[in-house]
Structure 1
Amino acid sequence: MITGLDKTTDNVAADVCVRLFAGGLAGITAASATYPLDLVRTRLAAQTRTMYYRGMSHALYTICRDEGMRGLYKGIGATLLGVGPSIAISFSVYETLRSCWQVERPHDSPVLVSLACGSLSGIASSTATFPLDLVRRRMQLEGAGGRAHVYTSGLIGTFRHIVRIEGIRGLYRGILPEYFKVVPSVGIVFMTYETLKMILSRRSTAE
């Protein structure tokens, strides 16, 4: 009996590890493939009165011309470092909260439980990885549209520069709007996932 239980626990742990690894790898692949578009979006959004880039295609062309192909991937190191932990934290916190909630309040709506737990997991994930996201955006804007070259020492150097000039709080500048974005979006993602899973499960059982 105990042996069977141990095997079941091992299988669950192995399944979780596989999902985390697959999710992290998928996130890294997607981030790498779409990163130039993310960089262009950041630069277009940062423009104020002086329109240095006239649009997406012009921005891609100008960045390649002025900064080379590598310019399209400024700050990607911070993104790749943050993708894995972000997925792992979000998934782990969500599963832990949902399991505890179902034990304590088994009659609550699964849809609302997944929405609440997903929102909280998004907060935990964003809090842990926000400094990397901030560093990424600072590096993306480096030298754009005549801006000064401030962060020229890579990922670690950018971290040090921000902490030295702005303090630890500087690494979390702008996190409140991030929470307002993450809480509904991540909650809705998990809620939709659990809802579709229940619907498909019922259909397969009925058939």
Structure 2
Amino acid sequence: MDAIETSVFFFFFNLSADVPASGVYFASYEWLQRVLTPEGKSRSDLSVKVTLFAGGMAGIFNWMVAIPPDVLKSRLQTAPEGKYPNGIRDVFRELIKHEGVRALYKGAAPVMLRAFPANAACFMGYEVAMKFLNWLAPNL
């Protein structure tokens, strides 16, 4: 593959990995917010702890979906040229054959340790910004 073909391939491969992971990210945050909201209360009544927990877990769920394609992509990018003539399929077959399914999650522990606090803070910032904007421009 030449440089342009490679760039286009990895662009679409990244999209095929990031879109489902992002879907899981936002859906799991919304789901956790709904599940953790006491009956008769609204999401705006949730405590900081609950918001941080939902955001942190959403980050972990996101990475559970995103890590396997990232591992495959990294293996393909760092392999000697010509080692995987059929691309990602060959990487996947070799990885499963020689290292097993768990190899798809190599490096997951440090990613998960970072994911929880980073995404908890991200969603906390989102909720604070939304409260401020709703205060600034109610009924908008």
TM-score interval for Structure 1 and Structure 2 normalised by the shorter chain: 0.7 to 0.9
CA distance in 2, matches of 1:133, 1:197: 32
Aligned partner (choices 97, 108, 112) of residue 179 of structure 1: 112
Q: TM-score, length-normalised on structure 2?
A: 0.82
- Aligned amino acid, residue 68 of structure 1: A
Aligned residue pairs: how many? 136
The alignment status of 1:89 with 2:89, answered yes or no, reads no
Match of residue 22 from structure 1: none
CA deviations 1:132-161 (Å, max 9, x no partner) are 111111122233xxxx64333212221111
Matched, 1:198 2:135: no
Partners in 2 of 1:77 and 1:205 — Cα distance? Answer: 40
Q: 1:124 to 1:71 in 2, by over 3 A?
A: same
Residue in structure 1 matched with residue 86 of structure 2 by the alignment: 153
- RMSD across aligned positions (CA): 2.5
Q: CA deviation at 1:113?
A: 2.1
Residue 96 of structure 1: how far off its partner (Å): 0.7
CA distance in 1, matches of 2:102, 2:9: 23
Matches within 5 A, 1:1-207: 68-72=3-7, 75-103=10-38, 108-109=46-47, 111-143=48-80, 149-205=82-138
Higher relative contact order by CA 8 Å / sep ≥ 6: 1 or 2?
Answer: 2
Contact 1:78–1:133 under 8 Å retained in 2: no
**Distance in structure 2 (CA, Å) of the matches to 1:124 and 1:104:** 25
Displacement after TM superposition at 1:114 (Å): 2.0
Q: Secondary structure at the match of 2:24?
A: helix
- Tell me, which stretches of 5 or more residues in structure 2 are unaligned? none
Question: 1:176 offset after TM fit, Å?
Answer: 0.4
Instruction: Give the AA of the match of 1:167.
Output: G
Rg larger in 1 or in 2? Answer: 1
Alpha-carbon offset, residue 103 of structure 1: 2.0
CA distance in 1, matches of 2:40, 2:102: 38
Q: Name the CA shift for 1:155/1:76 in 2 (closer, same or farther; >3 Å).
A: farther
* Partner Cα separation in structure 2 for residue 188 and residue 150 of structure 1: 41
> Identical aligned pairs, as a percentage?
26
Contact preservation (8 Å) 1:75, 1:139? no
Aligned residue type for 1:100? V
